[in-house]
Structure 1
Amino acid sequence: MYTSKVTGLGSYVPENVVTNDDLSKIMDTNDAWIQERTGIKERRHIKKGDGNSTSVMGVKAAKIALERAKLTKDDIDLIIFATLSPDMYFPGGGVRVQDMMDMGTVPALDVRNQCSGFVYALSVADQFIKTGMYKNVLIIGSENHSGGLDMTTRGRGVSVIFGDGAGAMVLSRNEKEDGSGVLSTHLHSEGAHAKELSLEGPSTDHWVPEIIAKNDQENIPYYPYMNGQFVFKNAVVRFSEVINEGLQKNNLTPVDINMLIPHQANLRISQFVQKQFRLSDDQVYNNIQRYGNTTAASIPIALTEAWEEGKIKDGDLIVLAAFGSGFTWGSAIIKW
């Protein structure tokens, strides 16, 4: 059986910076309130006319990852695109990337697992490579949240958290037998809590005309809803469980971790998990302060930046972990 290895990383965020002070001008909030609850100082939002979309940002990140992997678009055997905010209801972002990059008839697969989408996508790519079916897989996490948020005081509990951006990874067959690569991935879900972090409309339950006709009377939600405290309590438990699961699978302990890249949901969640595993600041990478929660894009953006900053080196043990809507959660243990 083959193993898989990360050969290229790339990320892209829009140039438009939206600070907490900017948000305080359009809703009843302030910098101290947002930072205390989330750790976020600013985020990036697509600006009308800048040419960006979920797929466009994914392509920009993908081109960087391919260049760093020393591969061309023709070397890619499969695209896996993770997002909750595709350019359109259907088709998904994967085929849009395939077309924009002129990649021929390479297969494209979309993953809709929200905050844990990238970890799920990585796990799928790893399985395809392990079986020998594909050699090089392009994995993208990209999100355009800003256009679908309630940017008023009513929606501030959710809207201040999210930002736009994309990250990409090239996962390739490992030609070396040196123990490096993806050691294992671990995935879970608990649909009983699906509505605690959700967007109910538009959907096949609430089509657009129905929402327009009935929203005033029935208050059908067409902005994201989040039960913040409930999500937080579940997240800190599941993060710890799925990280421990990965470590135990590989006969490792928290002491072996060189870098933990958690999904950037909330800085307070990351800090709680860091304390649980007794990790130093140098062992955990957070960038939510600058980008907010970019959902499926958050792990590949953070992983790319950590690598660019020299904080990830050959031989390091890297742990990726995520939790989010669904509820879904997962982890990946990687020997760099």
Structure 2
Amino acid sequence: MYTSRIIGLGHYVPDNVVTNGDLSKLMDTNDEWIQERTGIKERRYAIKGSEDTTTGMGVKAAKVAIDSAGIDKDDIDFIVFATLSPDYYFPGPGVAVQKALDIKTVGALDVRNQCSGFIYAISVADQFIKTGMYKNVLVIGSELHSHGLDMTTRGRGVSVIFGDGAGAAVLTRSEDNNRGILSTHLHSQGEHAEELVLTAPGMGTRWVNDILKDHENGVEDTSYYPKMNGKFVFKNAVVRFSEVIMEGLTQNGLKKEDIDMLIPHQANLRISQFIQRKFGLSDDQVYNNIMRYGNTTAASIPIALTEAWLEGKVKEGDTVVLAAFGSGFTWGSVIIKW
């Protein structure tokens, strides 16, 4: 039985910094209001018409990850791309990455699990490697939120939270059972799907023709903007984060005191701080960067993991825990012996 381990990491964020003050010029909000509720000070927005598409940012992060892994692009056997903001409705960005990197005709899979997308993507890659099907798998999380947000006072509860960016990891086969990904844990609760949702365009809701017809008739349609029941999401997130982290630790005979680094999905600084207190972790044991980037959904964990690794906060032999919760509801964790 093989194990998989992460041998390369990379991330990319657009140069364009958007502060809370910048948003206050577009909607009725201010720096204090945003920081108090989310912990966010600024985020990055891709410039429209630039190369910073969801695929473009993912490719930039992937190149860094492949280089840091010390392998050639043609050593990649499979691509898994997690996003909720693909360039096209179809096909997904996985095949676009294969083209952009000029990788041989390997398989490419797209994961649509929103905030927990990278956790699900890592789990998929881990299973492919453990079964011996593939040796090197490229996993990408990339999001371009800024072009699809309601940048008015009406949408401020959601719009101030999100930012753009990408992160990537290269997983490889290992025969050392004491290192690498020890286990992954995935869950869902579809009954709460509409508590955090973007309903249109969708084949089962409102398709493009319906939206265009409303516009022609002067009817305002906000179905193509994301909607969130913030308090309900927060309440469920803190419970599920705790459960799925403990599930992973228990399966591996570990205790919360064994955690060297927890990297949670960067949804809200208040959620991260709640989990930190519950597990009795110090500031050095939890990595947060939501203050700088906002919530980058599927990209948030790989961006944070890359930064933590580059800063020397993730070291060989460390027990690293990744955890996420988001729309679906879906949630999951990954337990790693670095």
Sort the TM-score into its range (normalised by shorter chain).
Answer: over 0.9
Cα offset, 1:151, TM superposition: 0.5
- Structure 2 CA distance, aligned partners of 1:212 and 1:222? 12
The 8 Å contact of residues 161 and 292 in structure 1, kept in 2 or not, is answered as: yes
- Structure 1 CA distance, aligned partners of 2:242 and 2:20? 30
Q: Describe how 1:187-336 pairs up with structure 2 within 5 A.
A: 187-204=186-203, 205-214=205-214, 219=221, 221-336=223-338
Q: Which residue of 1 aligns with 2:124?
A: 124
**Secondary structure of residue in 2 paired with 1:157:** helix
Cα offset, 1:117, TM superposition: 0.2
Would you say how many aligned residue pairs link Structure 1 and Structure 2? Answer: 335
- Structure 2 CA distance, aligned partners of 1:318 and 1:10? 17
Q: Describe how 1:1-336 pairs up with structure 2 within 5 A.
A: 1-175=1-175, 177=176, 179-204=178-203, 205-214=205-214, 219=221, 221-336=223-338
- Structure 2 CA distance, aligned partners of 1:276 and 1:53? 38
**Secondary structure of residue in 1 paired with 2:161:** coil
Deviations 1:21-47 (A, max 9, x none): 000011100000000000000000001
**Secondary structure of residue in 2 paired with 1:91:** coil
% of aligned pairs identical?
A: 73
Cα offset, 1:213, TM superposition: 2.1
Q: TM-score normalized by structure 2?
A: 0.97
The 8 Å contact of residues 211 and 220 in structure 1, kept in 2 or not, is answered as: no
Deviations 1:123-157 (A, max 9, x none): 00000000000000000000000000000111000
**Secondary structure of residue in 1 paired with 2:333:** strand
Segments of structure 1 that go 5 or more residues without pairing to the other structure are none
Aligned-residue Cα RMSD (Å) equals 1.1
**Secondary structure of residue in 1 paired with 2:302:** helix
Cα offset, 1:214, TM superposition: 3.6
Q: TM-score normalized by structure 1?
A: 0.98
- Structure 1 CA distance, aligned partners of 2:48 and 2:134? 38
Cα offset, 1:174, TM superposition: 1.2
- Structure 2 CA distance, aligned partners of 1:248 and 1:315? 19
Segments of structure 2 that go 5 or more residues without pairing to the other structure are none
Deviations 1:227-261 (A, max 9, x none): 00000000000000000000000010010000000
Deviations 1:250-293 (A, max 9, x none): 01001000000000000000000001101000000000000000
Cα offset, 1:212, TM superposition: 2.6
CA pair 19-218 structure 1, distance change in 2 beyond 3 A: closer
- Structure 2 CA distance, aligned partners of 1:326 and 1:53? 24
**Secondary structure of residue in 2 paired with 1:163:** coil
Q: AA paired with 2:112?
A: R
Cα offset, 1:104, TM superposition: 1.7
- Structure 2 CA distance, aligned partners of 1:131 and 1:160? 42
Which 4+ stretches in 1 moved above 3 angstroms?
214-220
Cα offset, 1:79, TM superposition: 0.2
Q: AA paired with 1:302?
A: A
Cα offset, 1:74, TM superposition: 0.3
The 8 Å contact of residues 126 and 182 in structure 1, kept in 2 or not, is answered as: yes
The 8 Å contact of residues 3 and 177 in structure 2, kept in 1 or not, is answered as: no
- Structure 2 CA distance, aligned partners of 1:242 and 1:254? 12
